[in-house]
Amino acid sequence: MPSEKGGVNGKCVFIDTEGTFRPQRIKQIAEAMQLNPEKVLKNIFVARAFNSDHQILLLEKIGEMAKAGEPIKLLIIDSLTAHFRAEFAGRGQLADRQQKLNRYMHDLMKLAETHNLAVYVTNQVMANPAQMFGDPTTAIGGHIVGHASTYRMYLRRGKQGSRVAKLIDSPNLPDNEAIYYVSDAGVVDEI
């Protein structure tokens, strides 16, 4: 967003691991916000990560771009764990996967601090049969991903087409929930 609209006038890098990035969707949201869609799209660098090694390697490239003067203010990884989960499938590979993920999380933190940019990652949950009471879902990557993240939000479907964002970990805010909707205009409070 431009600074006169409360933004930081920066660029964004979107690392797509699932092949779901759609420029048309950005265009739709930009138009609803009365922004120039072409301009908005020019400020988003999209990189498709083909496997976890490639996903890791892309961070170096982003560091180089930031060093060269690209005003990258936001890095999005959608999704953080899909490749890791697919490539390290069995229980026997869990330790290796977690080690690799841990290194990756630390690389992300370093990138964020060095270049003063925000990192936003999506992650999936899985059913945890050991959980007898309460919500039986746990995040992929476990504590390694959890502890390396400053804020964690749990997104789920609510009633009548609504969605619920639940803050589950924050250094300065209490746990809370907010209802939102996904519309043509993007994320909105009501439809």
Ligand X SMILES: Nc1ncnc2c1ncn2[C@@H]1O[C@H](COP(=O)(O)OP(=O)(O)OP(=O)(O)O)[C@@H](O)[C@H]1O
Backbone region of residue 27 per phi and psi (left: phi > 0; alpha: psi in -120 to 50; beta: other values)? alpha
Residues 154, 138: Cα–Cα separation, whole Å: 10
The interface partner of residue 32, options being Mg ion, ligand X, none and the CB cut-off 5 to 8 Å by kind, is none
Q: How far is the CB of 28 from ligand X (least distance, A)?
A: 6
Q: Which residue is nearest to Mg ion (CB)?
A: 20
Q: Which stretch binds ligand X (CB under 6 A): 88-96, 99-107, 134-142, 181-189?
A: 181-189
Site for ligand X in 15-44 (CB under 6 A): 20, 28
Structural element, H or E, at residue 30? helix 23-32
For residue 48, give both structure tokens. 């498709």
Q: Is 89 in the site for ligand X (CB under 6 A)?
A: no
Task: Identify the CA nearest to 10 among candidates 115, 133, 134.
Answer: 115
Q: How far is the CB of 155 from ligand X (least distance, A)?
A: 7
Q: Which stretch binds ligand X (CB under 6 A): 5-13, 101-109, 127-135, 182-190?
A: 182-190
Q: Which stretch binds ligand X (CB under 6 A): 42-50, 95-103, 130-138, 180-188?
A: 180-188
Greatest Cα pair distance, the chain, in angstroms, is: 53
Task: Identify the CA nearest to 104 among candidates 121, 91, 92, 124.
Answer: 121
Q: How far is the CB of 180 from Mg ion (least distance, A)?
A: 16
For residue 9, give both structure tokens. 């006038």
The three-point CA angle 84-90-96 to 5° equals 55
Site for Mg ion in 10-69 (CB under 5 A): 20
- Using the minimum distance from each CB to ligand X, give the nearer residue, 94 or 188: 188
Binding site for Mg ion (CB under 5 A): 20
